[in-house]
Structure 1
């Protein structure tokens, strides 16, 4: 493996993992937060919805800004906003305050979704970019495997507020990485002015690109299924199956391992059969296995091992979908990579927030609503894949 590729993967992966860490680290504390702030499960889940929606909308600012000023200045600003939100969460006296502070966190963390993708597009395209994206996801995999465990340990000694203090430290580390280890990758002559006219023109190009929109929504519904799992899993594992916060963290880590382990196979599979066929294969597997899991759940056969195993297999299929759709969506839009990354990310986060909102009224502390919405995401993603990628299934795309 090239040394520069490994260095880029580590730095970009650590930066990109701060946002997911802000999601995963406090998941074991959700039941405790609901109890201490004297609120409902649905109200507690709004702290995730607010984060995701702000995370998505703010990307529309960071992308064009990164195309105009370069990649580093937006990173500095976004990380500073993330720090302010983390401090607000740490000091929150009520669920309303916590939700607002989580929204500020999302506004800042959005830059860590947009800019690393654009940096990858600055440096690489095609399977090489997929390989780098997969390496970054390998670094990010530290988050769902270790963040809930770290959150559980912090709860033992410092309550749920200590989790957000730890995120303040993570934000400071992100600023240090940006300052000392991340070079500017956008040349001066490649920068584009940020104005409403150019944004509208760029957005028009993107939204009329059937492939860009199709890949964005395939990835969006795939990602949404994971968001629904994130919003519901702590309550399902602790209430239906009686797990402790530490037990939940271990079960959550197993499910996440499936996703990120499979993501490392995305580039080799793409090299062999083509990127479009890789996406079709992954989406088909995800829709089938999530539908089987729903049938088993409705039949009343979902023991804890069955649920964890079914989610592991479904998430493994998503692992080859996510990095590949991200790369394919940007491949033909290198001149507006920042805008394309931000628009794609915004649409995906809005879909994720929408699916959590749809699931919340039906949540009853059991696995059934969670699995049903995950299966619905799989069905929608499969339909979009059939419409957009069907003609590529017999012809590899390089």
Structure 2
């Protein structure tokens, strides 16, 4: 990858990591939040659900805005909203306030998910874009390794409210990065005014595109598996397995290592074997690893080392799927890249938020129920890949 592209990928990765940091730094504190605000584990989990759902819906705002106004202005507006919401969360007097503030955080952070993908599409396509996306994943993948440990460190001298204070500072630094270091990548001549008819036409085109929808849901159910994990992991690791907040952070980081390591191979493997084949083999491996772990847990063998090892393998497979599917879904739609990125992000975040809510209704925060929910997401992701790639079976087997 050329140096200018790597530099831009690094900037985009730092911006894209703000949203995951807002999730992952907060995870060790969820039991404390539940106790401090006098709510249940399910009530504390709603702070994640509200974040994901608004995060998903708001991408439909930023995508068309990025196509009409360029890439920088939506990022600036999103970071401003994120900063104000983060300050509000730090002063939350009850769980309802915190749920609302987390939703507003999602509203701001959505810009940092939708717009960078459109920037990548502006600068590259195909395997080169996959390599650029993988470079972004380098930075994003550090978040699950560092953010929980950072949150645990903050809790040692403060509490969960101080975590939001740190996030507020991070959002201001990100704002400076956008203003002074990120170039505008959309030529004014290529900008498309926001028109309802054009959005409806573009949306209809995307929603009826089998590959776009299938690949989007491959990523959506893959990400949903991780969302289900992060909603339950702090309670499972600290209460069922007896880990401290720091111990939980280290166990949580193992998943990120698997995802991060594999994601760096995505571009090279896609160039060598083809993007469809990489997705198909990786999603099949994700299903096999998740189903095997669920079976072991049902048979009573779901110890802490087994759960950590099984999730490591599953997330390594997922690390090949997410960047490759994201690039492949956008490739046929360069003229509406912003809308495609935002619609794809919306569908994926809504899928994750709804899976948290649905599995929370039927499953308890135990290791067995957690890995069963992850296996369900893996099966749905595999089914989406089967349906979206079925016309290319000769190329992927």
Could you state the TM-score of these two structures normalised by the residue count of structure 2? 0.99
Unaligned runs of 5+ in 2: none
SS in 1 for 2:395: coil
Kept after mapping to 1: 8 A contact 2:330/2:340? yes
Question: What are the superposed Cα offsets for residues 320-345 of structure 1, whole Å, 9 maximum, x if unpaired?
Answer: 00000100010010100000000000
1:15 corresponding residue in structure 2:
15
Work out whether 1:119 is the aligned partner of 2:139: no
SS in 2 for 1:394: helix
Cα shift at 1:29: 0.3
1:160 corresponding residue in structure 2:
160
* Aligned counterparts, 1:23-42, within 5 A: 23-42=23-42
* Aligned counterparts, 1:286-325, within 5 A: 286-325=286-325
Question: What are the superposed Cα offsets for residues 30-64 of structure 1, whole Å, 9 maximum, x if unpaired?
Answer: 00100111100000000000000000000000000
1:99 corresponding residue in structure 2:
99
Cα shift at 1:392: 2.4
1:230 corresponding residue in structure 2:
230
Counterpart Cα distance in 2 of 1:139 and 1:218 = 22
2:194 corresponding residue in structure 1:
194
2:351 corresponding residue in structure 1:
351
Question: What are the superposed Cα offsets for residues 160-194 of structure 1, whole Å, 9 maximum, x if unpaired?
Answer: 10000001011101100000100000001100010
1:51 corresponding residue in structure 2:
51
Counterpart Cα distance in 1 of 2:179 and 2:301 = 52
Could you state the TM-score of these two structures normalised by the residue count of structure 1? 0.98
1:60 corresponding residue in structure 2:
60
Counterpart Cα distance in 1 of 2:276 and 2:318 = 14
Kept after mapping to 2: 8 A contact 1:239/1:365? no
Counterpart Cα distance in 1 of 2:118 and 2:387 = 27
Counterpart Cα distance in 1 of 2:86 and 2:385 = 38
Unaligned runs of 5+ in 1: none
2:379 corresponding residue in structure 1:
379
Question: What are the superposed Cα offsets for residues 221-258 of structure 1, whole Å, 9 maximum, x if unpaired?
Answer: 00100000011100000011000000000000011111
Cα shift at 1:360: 1.2
Question: What are the superposed Cα offsets for residues 140-169 of structure 1, whole Å, 9 maximum, x if unpaired?
Answer: 122100000000000010111000000101
Counterpart Cα distance in 1 of 2:292 and 2:159 = 38
Counterpart Cα distance in 1 of 2:343 and 2:186 = 19
SS in 2 for 1:184: coil
Kept after mapping to 2: 8 A contact 1:280/1:385? yes
Cα shift at 1:363: 3.8
Counterpart Cα distance in 1 of 2:362 and 2:151 = 27
* Aligned counterparts, 1:250-329, within 5 A: 250-329=250-329
Structure 1 runs (4+) deviating above 4 angstroms are none
Kept after mapping to 2: 8 A contact 1:215/1:325? yes
SS in 2 for 1:364: coil
Kept after mapping to 1: 8 A contact 2:302/2:368? no
Counterpart Cα distance in 2 of 1:265 and 1:337 = 25
Cα shift at 1:393: 3.9
Kept after mapping to 1: 8 A contact 2:221/2:380? yes
1:150 corresponding residue in structure 2:
150
Work out whether 1:242 is the aligned partner of 2:230: no
Counterpart Cα distance in 1 of 2:364 and 2:112 = 34
